[in-house]
Amino acid sequence: MKRYIFIASAILLSASAQAVERKFSEGYAIAQSRINTNKTESGLSLLDGKLAFSRNDTVYLAELDDSLDIKKITPMPDLSSLGIEGQFAQYGKTIVFSKGGELYQAEQTNRQWGNPQKLKIDGLGGGRTKVEGTSFAARRWTYRVPTITGMYNPAISKNGKRLYYVTEFEGGQGGRDIWYSDRKPDGKSWSAPVNLGDIVNTAADEDFPFLAGDSAFYFASATSDTLGGMNIFKTNLKTKSKPVMIPAEFNSNSNDENFIVADGCPFLISNRNGNQDIYRPEVIPVIVETPAPDTTVVDSTPKVVMKDYKTCVFYFDFDKTTLIDSYEKEFNYIYEFVNSDPNSKFTINGHTDIRGGEKYNQKLSTNRAKIVYDRLVEMGVDKNRLEYKGFGKSQLDIKNAATEEEHQKNRRVEIIKLD
């Protein structure tokens, strides 16, 4: 049996955050990762805050670059030796994964993963217990683990107390369903499986749960509402909202699954080009332009551009620090960018073009950064999440700028995500 490793995300979305899939639904195309091969790339999960994937039977740890892609991969022999099938979940120094159709855990000691230990789940492995909240309630029974599908693709809540997984137990909605068990007070065993119900499950197959924060729940489904094959859906576990398909950019008429978020950037697995590969957002420059309300303002081209997934750039007019009403849309865009991850901090760096003296440009760049800082605080951003500073003309994007357009690219404020 092939081993598929699915790595969850380093930075999980908080319940109050703007949906990351919406953040990347405009101004981005969904493209194949450059590290894909003609072999099967699969599996996206989280391991110590880093992305990983598997290629056949080898698990790799990946590093991301500023282009929203994987720049370096490192094989992980100790993980590969565990025999993991499907995505795994991590909490603390423990990972939970499927092996031979059953759920196991392994502990990390001295940066090495120890021998797998089978999870103790009430009702499995010959035990009999009363199951609450399922069709088996009020009678004693024994789970018989299906020999066809087994139990796969675990995901775990942020506090490590609720474990989600995929199987075809009797009493489900039909096909593969997502079930859960809660950690028992002894800390070593889990309650009997409970079907997540029609919050996510349908008569078709559901798979690849991914919990972002405390309530945003992503999963793949083959329900009749898809574009074809399996597509990625989302619901809120707290409000129990009806699942909705995430933006079309992430879905196709093929199998799209295993959606995760690593370092604030979404990744998924798809076979839309005939091979099972990793897909990720690819930046298409986003420019918001509005006409100047005052025709006496020279070179008025207010803009906001996403330089990469963690850097938003705001361009100023020549020799200007003042803001005009036409910047409102730009500031709404910057505000959404800063609040897309409300737990992160940002630095606001001001820059000028080459024209003018050192002292003058240093002051001008600092004032530009402070204007952006002040406006974001005024809009409700916690000032403890922000810092600002000016760099004058010491960090030019275009070092030998000759045209006004090139000078414009140096007159900027960069809002950069720090963590």
Read off the tokens for 132: 């609450």
Q: What are phi and psi of 299, to 5 degrees?
A: 55, 45
Q: What is the pLDDT of residue 304?
A: 83
Are 330 and 289 contacting, i.e. CB atoms less than 8 angstroms apart?
Answer: no
- Is 292 contained in some domain? no
The reply to whether the predicted model has a pTM over 0.85 is: no
Among the three residues 283, 311, 338, which one is the final residue of a domain in this structure? Answer: 283
Are 262 and 9 contacting, i.e. CB atoms less than 8 angstroms apart?
Answer: yes
254/328 same-domain check: no
Q: What is the pLDDT of residue 395?
A: 93
Those residues with Cβ within 8 angstroms of residue 186's Cβ, 6 or more apart along the chain or in another chain: none
| Residue-level pLDDT, tens digit, the chain, 419 residues | 333 333 333 223 333 334 677 677 666 788 899 999 989 998 899 898 789 888 888 899 999 887 788 989 999 999 999 989 889 999 999 999 999 889 999 999 988 999 999 999 998 864 334 344 443 332 223 334 443 458 999 999 988 999 999 998 877 888 899 999 999 999 889 999 999 998 899 999 999 999 987 788 999 999 988 888 899 999 998 888 889 998 777 899 899 999 998 888 889 999 998 899 999 988 765 444 444 333 333 334 447 888 877 888 888 765 555 454 456 777 888 888 888 778 889 999 999 888 878 887 888 889 889 988 988 998 889 999 999 999 999 999 888 888 878 888 888 899 999 86
- Is 134 contained in some domain? yes
Read off the tokens for 259: 């959606």
Q: What is the pLDDT of residue 256?
A: 95
> Angle at Cα 319 formed by Cα 318 and Cα 320, nearest 5°?
90
CA separation, residue 397 to residues 352, 392, 393 (Å): 10, 12, 10
Are 210 and 191 contacting, i.e. CB atoms less than 8 angstroms apart?
Answer: no
CA distance 91 to 96: 9
Q: What is the pLDDT of residue 144?
A: 42
Those residues with Cβ within 8 angstroms of residue 16's Cβ, 6 or more apart along the chain or in another chain: 213, 342
How many other CB atoms are there within 10 angstroms of residue 404's CB atom?
A: 12
Q: What is the pLDDT of residue 284?
A: 65
Q: Which amino acid is at 180?
A: Y
244/318 same-domain check: no
272/387 same-domain check: no
215/308 same-domain check: no
Q: What is the pLDDT of residue 317?
A: 66
- Is 288 contained in some domain? no
- Is 291 contained in some domain? no
Are 80 and 58 contacting, i.e. CB atoms less than 8 angstroms apart?
Answer: yes
Q: What is the CATH number of the domain that holds 252?
A: 2.110.10.10
Q: How many domains does the chain have?
A: 2
Q: What is the pLDDT of residue 286?
A: 46
- Is 206 contained in some domain? yes
Read off the tokens for 375: 């406006």
Among the three residues 226, 254, 283, which one is the final residue of a domain in this structure? Answer: 283
SS3 of residue 8 by DSSP? coil
Helix axes 328-339, 358-378, angle to 10 degrees: 70
CA distance 382 to 387: 11
Q: What is the pLDDT of residue 226?
A: 86
Q: Which residues of 164-202 are buried (b: 16+ CB within 10 A; e: fewer)?
A: bbbbbbeebbebbbbbbbebeeeeeebbbbbbbeebbbb
135/205 same-domain check: yes
- Is 295 contained in some domain? no
Look up the domain containing 247 and give its range: 5-283
Q: Which helix (H) or strand (E) holds 332?
A: helix 328-339
- Is 172 contained in some domain? yes
CA separation, residue 56 to residues 34, 179, 189 (Å): 17, 27, 31
Q: What is the pLDDT of residue 158?
A: 87
Q: What is the pLDDT of residue 334?
A: 87
343/246 same-domain check: no
Q: What is the CATH number of the domain that holds 316?
A: 3.30.1330.60
Q: What is the pLDDT of residue 403?
A: 83
For 196-257, the three-class secondary structure string (H helix, E strand, C coil) is CHHHCCCCCCEEEEEEECCCEEEEEECCCCCCCCCEEEEEECCCCCCCEECCHHHCCCCCEE
- Is 42 contained in some domain? yes
